[in-house]
């Protein structure tokens, strides 16, 4: 096992990793920018190192500073969390060159899945169903129109290097295609430094359903069921739940086993998520995330498996925590991502938290790094915290979520709590009857009222 882990992240996920380390008896090193000197992860870690000024590129993305922090503190492993350097294959390689463990998959798998075109080809080869689309990137000498017509409109132009919903444009008709191609390519070039784009059939009312996997790197892999993340705004997940209201045990086992087998064949190590769109009973692979995800607590609540702790154990050479047959999905869980944003305009609302009261009680979990008096800096994401609720059934879970949301107090800044309080009372949400465009349509309706 590792002696000392450096946590190359901030906010709630840094705290989440720190908790797993403490339970495992591993010493922790927090790193922070000058803007985060008072942050909770810094206060709770055994040691801390300031790695630079507020902008992420000068601090949390600053590889030389992180290496120096490892050197100074004698850390033997680095946990990257999510975002920042978590899916940077080069970072994993550099750590290994310095005899440091990267708590994550092999660099080759990060690289493979980071290129969405390669990822899709790999998925296809491994027997995972994919969205119909172009065979790889659309090159200038190819006639994109011919490919698009073959797929059938509407089509989606996507960036090969995409992430966070950027570099994605829909062409509803033939007339839209050229503009969609150039805007997506320009956006991809400026966001990722790579203008390559590919085409996919644009699914009209799919759900976003993702499968959590865990691999030991030696050909052993299990799946831990699914999370339904269909409630999204600008391709960003807002509310996640598991199990999905639309999957039965047979459908879950079928897609889960397909994904599990694929991970065994890849000899994948650590945690990963294979993301699908789901429409009319069919799954379509969109991408794989080779890291711990924001919404991982949903799976923890319904399986009882501590994903971050297992991630660390496995990175240190440990075995899978259980066999596939022994994985039991127990009850229902919902996560709300509470952001420091105006609940109507979604304008960021950084600033000082004057009052903070997290809800409690049976089946209620808060993953957050804020406290009363904490000042949310304007430089990073606007996540205040995740409210995660568990119940024996979806009905019980919704009841519990309703009262937990009503109990929660975050004053001094604007948050998206009012949005969740409304959503949890919406008939479509109560019925589980929503798709990936539902939330944006609902928000347009709210503005019109």
Residue 116: CB minimum distance to ligand ADP, A: 7
Residue 353: CB minimum distance to ligand ADP, A: 29
Q: Does the protein bind ligand ADP through residue 436 (CB under 6 A)?
A: yes
Q: Does the protein bind ligand ADP through residue 304 (CB under 6 A)?
A: no
Q: Does the protein bind ligand ADP through residue 163 (CB under 6 A)?
A: yes
| Per-residue binder mask for ligand ADP (CB under 6 A), 176-205, x = binder | ------------------------xxxx--
Residue whose CB is less far from ligand ADP, 203 or 405: 203
Q: Does the protein bind ligand ADP through residue 208 (CB under 6 A)?
A: yes
Q: Does the protein bind ligand ADP through residue 290 (CB under 6 A)?
A: no
Spatial distance between the Cα atoms of 8 and 86, rounded to a whole number of angstroms? 9
Residue 385: CB minimum distance to ligand ADP, A: 22
Cα-Cα-Cα-Cα dihedral sign, residues 78, 84, 87, 91: negative
Q: Does the protein bind ligand ADP through residue 275 (CB under 6 A)?
A: yes
β-sheet bridge partners, residue 77:
5, 101
Residue 189: CB minimum distance to ligand ADP, A: 15
β-sheet bridge partners, residue 287:
275
DSSP 97-141: HTT-EESSS-HHHHHHHHSHHHHHHHHHHTT--B--B-SS---TT
Secondary structure of residue 31 in the 3-state scheme: strand
Residue 255: CB minimum distance to ligand ADP, A: 16
* 7's tokens: 């946590």
| Contact call for residues 270 and 231 (beta carbons, < 8 A) | no
Residue from 287, 295, 306, 341 that binds ligand ADP (CB under 6 A)?
Answer: 287
Residue whose CB is less far from ligand ADP, 161 or 387: 161
Q: Does the protein bind ligand ADP through residue 132 (CB under 6 A)?
A: no
Q: How far is CA 369 from CA 320, 376, 386, in A?
A: 29, 10, 10
Q: Does the protein bind ligand ADP through residue 87 (CB under 6 A)?
A: no
Q: Does the protein bind ligand ADP through residue 286 (CB under 6 A)?
A: yes
Q: Does the protein bind ligand ADP through residue 164 (CB under 6 A)?
A: yes
Q: Does the protein bind ligand ADP through residue 283 (CB under 6 A)?
A: no
Q: Does the protein bind ligand ADP through residue 156 (CB under 6 A)?
A: yes
Determine the interface stretch with ligand ADP among 34-42, 70-78, 155-163, 417-425 (rule: CB under 6 A): 155-163
Residue from 7, 15, 123, 131 that binds ligand ADP (CB under 6 A)?
Answer: 131
Spatial distance between the Cα atoms of 89 and 91, rounded to a whole number of angstroms? 5
Quick one: which of 132, 166, 169, 124 has its CA closest to 149? 132
Spatial distance between the Cα atoms of 407 and 88, rounded to a whole number of angstroms? 39
Indicate which residues carry an active-site annotation.
Answer: 291
Residue whose CB is less far from ligand ADP, 45 or 171: 171
**Which residues in the 220-239 window bind ligand ADP by CB under 6 A?**
232, 235
Residue whose CB is less far from ligand ADP, 207 or 365: 207
Spatial distance between the Cα atoms of 32 and 56, rounded to a whole number of angstroms? 10
Quick one: which of 118, 285, 274 has its CA closest to 198? 118
Residue whose CB is less far from ligand ADP, 201 or 394: 201
Secondary structure of residue 214 in the 3-state scheme: strand
Residue 197: CB minimum distance to ligand ADP, A: 12
Residue whose CB is less far from ligand ADP, 288 or 398: 288
**Which residues in the 305-364 window bind ligand ADP by CB under 6 A?**
none
304: which DSSP letter?
Answer: -
Residue whose CB is less far from ligand ADP, 61 or 436: 436
Torsion of CA 306, 2, 63, 368, to 10 degrees: 30
Quick one: which of 304, 308, 305, 211 has its CA closest to 262? 211
DSSP 228-283: EEEEEETTEEEEEEES-TT--HHHHHHHHHHHHHHHHHHT-EEEEEEEEEEETTEE
Spatial distance between the Cα atoms of 293 and 273, rounded to a whole number of angstroms? 8
Residue whose CB is less far from ligand ADP, 16 or 207: 207
Spatial distance between the Cα atoms of 169 and 339, rounded to a whole number of angstroms? 26
Spatial distance between the Cα atoms of 212 and 226, rounded to a whole number of angstroms? 6
Total of residues contacting ligand ADP (CB under 6 A) = 19
Q: Does the protein bind ligand ADP through residue 240 (CB under 6 A)?
A: no
Residue 277: CB minimum distance to ligand ADP, A: 6
Residue 115: CB minimum distance to ligand ADP, A: 11
Residues at the contact surface with ligand ADP, assessed by CB under 6 A: 131, 156, 162-165, 200-203, 206, 208, 232, 235, 275, 277, 286-287, 436
């Amino acid at each position: 096992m590792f002696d000392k882990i450096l946590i190359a992240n901030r906010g709630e996920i840094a705290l989440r990793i720190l908790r797993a380390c403490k339970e495992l008896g591993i010493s922790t090193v927090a790193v922070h920018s000058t803007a985060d000197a008072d942050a909770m992860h810094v206060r709770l870690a055994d040691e801390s190192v300031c790695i630079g000024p507020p902008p992420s590129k000068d601090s949390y993305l600053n590889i030389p500073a992180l290496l120096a922090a490892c050197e100074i503190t004698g850390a033997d492993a680095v946990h990257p969390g999510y975002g920042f350097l978590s899916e940077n294959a080069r970072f994993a390689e550099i750590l290994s060159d310095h005899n440091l463990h990267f708590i994550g998959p092999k660099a080759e798998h990060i690289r493979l899945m980071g290129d969405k075109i390669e990822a899709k080809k790999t998925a296809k080869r491994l027997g995972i169903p994919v969205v119909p689309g172009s065979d790889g990137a659309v090159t200038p000498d190819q006639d994109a129109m011919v490919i698009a017509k073959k797929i059938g409109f509407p089509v989606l132009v996507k960036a090969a290097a995409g992430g966070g919903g950027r570099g994605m444009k829909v062409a509803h008709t033939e007339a839209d295609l050229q503009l969609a191609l150039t805007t997506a390519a320009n956006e991809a070039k400026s966001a990722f430094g790579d203008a390559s784009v590919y085409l996919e059939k644009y699914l009209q009312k799919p759900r976003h359903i993702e499968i959590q996997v865990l691999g030991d790197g030696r050909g052993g892999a299990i799946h831990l069921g699914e999370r339904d993340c269909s409630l999204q705004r600008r391709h960003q997940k807002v509310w996640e739940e598991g199990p999905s209201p639309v999957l039965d045990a047979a459908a879950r086992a079928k897609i889960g086993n397909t994904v599990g087998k694929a991970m065994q064949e890849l000899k994948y190590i650590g945690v990963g998520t294979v993301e699908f769109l789901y429409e009319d009973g069919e799954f379509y692979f969109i991408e794989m995330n080779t890291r711990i995800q924001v919404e991982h607590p949903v799976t923890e609540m319904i399986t009882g498996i501590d994903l971050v702790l297992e991630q660390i154990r496995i990175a240190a050479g440990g075995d899978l925590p259980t066999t596939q047959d022994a994985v039991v999905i127990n009850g229902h869980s919902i996560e709300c991502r509470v952001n420091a944003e105006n609940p109507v305009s979604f304008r960021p609302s950084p600033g000082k938290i004057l009052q903070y009261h997290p809800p409690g009680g049976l089946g209620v979990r808060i993953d957050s790094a804020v406290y009363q008096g904490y000042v949310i800096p304007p430089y990073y994401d606007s996540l205040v915290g995740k409210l995660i609720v568990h119940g024996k059934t979806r009905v019980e879970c919704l009841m519990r979520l309703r009262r937990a949301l009503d109990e929660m107090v975050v004053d001094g800044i604007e948050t998206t709590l009012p949005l969740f309080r409304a959503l949890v009372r919406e008939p479509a949400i109560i019925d589980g009857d929503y798709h990936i465009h539902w939330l944006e349509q609902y928000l347009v309706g709210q503005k019109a009222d």
